[in-house]
Amino acid sequence: MNILINPAYILLLSGIVLCFIPARFFKLCALIQGVCTIVATFIFISKFNHPIILNFIEFELLLSYITPLAPLFIIAFSLVFLLNLLFSFGDKQYNKTEIIAAFIYAGSAISIITSGDLISMFFSIELMSISATIIIFSAQNLHSYLVSKRYFIIHITAGIIFLIGTIIYIKQNGNANIIPFQPIESFNSNNLASIFILGSILINVGSIPFSSWIADSYPEASYSGSCFLSVFTTKTSVFLLLTYFPGNTILIYLGLAMIFYGIIYAILENNIRRILSYSLVNQVGFMVLAAGIGSNLAIKGAALHAFCHIFYKTLLFMSAGAVIFSTHKHKCTELGGLFTSMRYTAICAIIGAAAISGFPLTSGFISKAVIVEAAHNYNLFIWWGLIIASAGVFLHAGLEFPWFTFFQRKPSRTVPEVPLLMKIAMGCAAFICIYLGVDYKIIYNLLPNQVYYEPYSFSHIYKHSELLLSSAAAFFLLLPMLKRQNTISLDIDFFYRKLPKDLTNILHQCTKLFANYRTNFSQRMEKSNNILVSIVKYEHILSLTIYTTIIILLCLITFSII
């Protein structure tokens, strides 16, 4: 019964069943299964506390295994999955393949969280990668085809690294049951397994220098596919870092690098979904940094931030998707002035922007505050970095995205507002963002060893409001310098997107030059051959000439002597 009520397996089975559902019943069945998943989630985390042990070859697989942080992530995944389903079905021309892949994607993500051994975790990670690739490919255009190949290669590589770590772990320990690893302080054979497994997770979480795959892949999915993709892969990896790799100092510096990387590239970006993708890297950086700090307050703060981030980031991607759905445009240089015709979408986007910026009475305020406090207790340098980063977050996500999308210029045309189901999905996500910011104790109570932190102290509200106002003033003062350019930003993905093309062009030019040289050389050789042929043809004349010349020279020499 335990394994049957696990929401992961309900989603996986639902994805298989939906393959055989007729089109006219598909939407209804999918929504019913989404609701059943939420019901199963609350039953699962409240009633069942013992894992299912399944024998596989010589190993014991621990299925339906609940760690202390698992309930928070499972609840968030189940709720936001239903919201994304609603948003997807707002379009009458929804993609059935994408929906089925999304069920598998969400199910495999929850399966990772509820896996207590490395073998079942590995299979779930690979299934998550394959289903995400299908979601990207389902956009059915040339860009999505190329991006899905790149995404698949990157994540299959991460899976292979994870498998190597798993094999080493089993060889060292004699079983696959996973427990929290000790912090990696040096590179030696004893922690080789944890190094490989951590490296694999860092690729999936979008850590530096592997962050570029997020901005490369998420914007190329469909407007609804991006909403699914923004939730599961990175947050599942955050869960693994918080549960099994807390206290690794390297995560602090990687997280800090992710934070500022995301800010800089988001400010430079023109594509609205790429802005949000870089913003996602930035926000995940906060969680990775907190995992590196490793204190109880930091771990709980990162889990809280992941929970809140799932909803406000989904809301922002929904808002961007709604704009693309209505206008068929996705660049800041093509948008602006949409507030008058898309007021509902604009308000939802502003709520999401306020939440990601950490405005009081929003979910981002109560979660980010815990991480900042943990950083303050750990190191003042890290704390100052987070304070500066908070201002940068407000610049690119809180102001840049809504301003260039819905304002910036007078409306040039009227576009239709999105369908009802899309409005319901965005409205529910916006409500959750505000509700969690007001009744924050409800989410604090979901954590083990409840967090005792009061975010609404006068000093904290005053300092954070001052920071936000200063950032807003800087944004509008520098606005003339922030005009969007119709360009695309490349970073480490230059090496697998641009460099192969450049090398191919260089090789093509070299081949062309070699072909020209060979042609010229052949022509010269042909001329030389013709001369030789002529010489051979008239060799008797040449011989006579030579003999005559020799005789004349001898005569002249004799004459001169005499």
Q: Are residues 203 and 103 in the same domain?
A: yes
Q: Are residues 543 and 459 in the same domain?
A: no
Q: Show pLDDT as tens, one digit a residue, over the chain (562 residues).
A: 556 688 999 999 999 999 999 988 999 999 999 999 999 999 998 877 677 888 877 888 888 888 999 999 999 999 999 999 999 999 888 899 999 999 999 999 999 999 999 999 999 999 999 999 999 999 888 788 899 999 999 999 999 999 999 999 999 988 889 888 888 877 777 889 999 999 999 999 999 889 889 999 999 999 999 999 999 999 999 999 999 999 999 999 999 999 999 998 988 888 999 999 999 999 999 999 999 998 999 999 999 999 999 999 999 999 999 999 998 888 888 888 888 889 999 999 999 999 998 888 999 999 888 898 899 888 888 888 888 888 888 777 778 888 888 887 776 677 888 899 999 999 999 999 999 999 888 888 888 876 677 888 888 788 778 788 877 887 777 666 666 566 666 666 666 566 666 677 777 677 777 767 777 766 766 666 666 555 545 555 445 555 555 555 655 565 555 5
**Which distant-in-sequence residues (6+ apart) come within 8 Å of 372 by Cβ?**
383, 386, 387, 390
Last residue of a domain, one of 223, 245, 267: 245
Structure tokens at 30: 């999918």
**Which distant-in-sequence residues (6+ apart) come within 8 Å of 428 by Cβ?**
83, 86
**Number of other CB atoms surrounding residue 129 within 10 Å:** 21
C-alpha gyration radius of the chain: 32
Q: Are residues 405 and 464 in the same domain?
A: yes
Q: What is the DSSP secondary structure assignment for residue 448, as one 8-state letter?
A: S
Last residue of a domain, one of 245, 271, 289: 245
3-state helix, strand, coil in the chain (%, to 5): 75, 0, 20
Q: Are residues 332 and 300 in the same domain?
A: yes
Q: Are residues 328 and 192 in the same domain?
A: no
Q: Are residues 516 and 463 in the same domain?
A: no
Structure tokens at 86: 């609603």
Q: Are residues 401 and 480 in the same domain?
A: yes
Q: Are residues 549 and 485 in the same domain?
A: no
State which residues form the domain around 510: 499-561
CA atoms within 13 A on the CB side of 21: 21
Cβ 33 vs Cβ 100: under 8 Å: no
Last residue of a domain, one of 468, 492, 516: 492
Q: Are residues 49 and 193 in the same domain?
A: yes
Cβ 112 vs Cβ 128: under 8 Å: yes
Measured CA to CA, the distance from residue 253 to residue 256 in angstroms comes to 5
Q: What is the DSSP secondary structure assignment for residue 224, as one 8-state letter?
A: T
Q: How many domains does the chain have?
A: 3
3-state secondary structure of 422: helix
Structure tokens at 208: 């530096």
Nearest to 56 by CA among 215, 177, 160, 154: 177
In 16-69, where do the E strands start and end? 52-56, 59-63
Please give the distance of CA 271 from its chain centroid, rounded to a whole number.
15
Q: Are residues 227 and 344 in the same domain?
A: no
Q: Are residues 274 and 419 in the same domain?
A: yes
Q: Are residues 318 and 394 in the same domain?
A: yes
User: Does the CA dihedral 136-140-144-149 come out positive or negative?
Assistant: positive
